[in-house]
Amino acid sequence: MRWIPGGRSEDLEDQRSSGGRRLGGGMGLGIGGLILLGVLSLIFKRDLITPYLNVGGSDRPSATSADPARDAAEEPMVQFVSFVLDDAQKTWETIFANQSKSYQRARLVLFRDGVDSACGFADAAVGPFYCPGDQKVYIDLGFYEELRRRFGAPGDFAQAYVLAHEIGHHVQKMLGIDSRVRGAQQQNPSAHNPLSVKIELQADCFAGVWAHSTNERKLLESGDVEEALRAASAVGDDNIQKMSRGRVVPESFTHGSSEQRMTWFRRGLQSGDPSSCNTFAN
């Protein structure tokens, strides 16, 4: 991806050297949560995925100490995610303005090991996530190494896709989609997983809408789209379940299959139109 290094977003909060403490409340898995939990399940031969689907509060501390060397090593990545964050949000500001709507920017929180949010405490195993309670995206940059090394999804545009997906959840918050889906899930618990899949696939499509904009502005390089599609496939529920359990259980899907995730990203990429991302009509 073509981008210009040299700065941090004003919407960035760097909490990598801050300690965290588990507080009450629960939260859903982010785009990378199932990936890392699946790997840990495979390593320790225990199902670590299910408990996180309905994670509760705790007071167990999470200590994070300053690591200047690691901070320095991660600085290029910090500047990259800053660029993607600002570019994606400028794109959505324009789209909202064209529809006579107002877009309120999300903030990006970088953390290490664990973090407190309005959705509760999360450790790095949960992966990148968006919290509608405080309208912030949370990322431990170490996730990108896991995406590259363990799941064969390298490349800067694979990383950009992850962040654009989480910004897609913020767009859903701005449009009122998030609250409507949560209300429907509460009214009909049996529909929780299918509705979760639909909202995740829509966020993939919204990520594709942003990718369409980058392509129009000649920011994409050869292989970038393939990098994003590879990442979308890697985080498909079927792929993660095969790695962690050795079998696929479609009724337990919460994010969608690899093919579904690639399909909806492509739809946004090809159309550049958020209205094409109505996963709830299918």
- H or E stretch including 62? strand 61-62
pTM of the full structure? 0.84
3-state secondary structure 21-52: ECCCCCCCCCCCHHHHHHHHHHHHCCCCHHHH
Distance CA 122, CA 23 (A): 9
* Model confidence pLDDT, tens digit, residues 87-105: 999 999 999 999 999 999 9
pLDDT in tens, 203-244: 999 999 999 999 999 999 999 999 999 999 999 999 999 988
Which of the listed ranges 17-21, 69-73, 269-273 does the model predict with the highest average pLDDT? 269-273
**Cα–Cα distance between 39 and 63 in angstroms, integer?**
23
Separation CA 88–CA 162 (nearest Å): 12
* Residue 255, both tokens: 């994010």
Top-confidence residue, 47 or 256:
256
Whether pLDDT at 145 is above 50: yes
- Check residue 40 and give its pLDDT: 53
> Is there a contact between 220 and 1 (Cβ–Cβ < 8 Å)?
yes
> For the ranges 61-70, 88-97, 105-114, which has the lowest average pLDDT?
61-70
How far apart CA 184 and CA 203 sit, in angstroms, is 18
C-alpha span between 223 and 69 (Å, rounded): 31
Distance, in Å, from the CA atom of 61 to the CA atom of 22, rounded to the nearest integer, reads 6
The CA–CA distances, whole Å, from 122 to 46, 50, 69, 128, 184 equal 20, 15, 24, 10, 25
Q: pLDDT over 90 for what percent of the chain?
A: 73
Task: For 167-192, write each residue's pLDDT tens digit.
Answer: 999 999 999 999 999 999 999 999 99
Query: In 10 A of CB 49, how many CB atoms?
Result: 21
Helices first, then strands: H and E counts in the chain: 10, 8
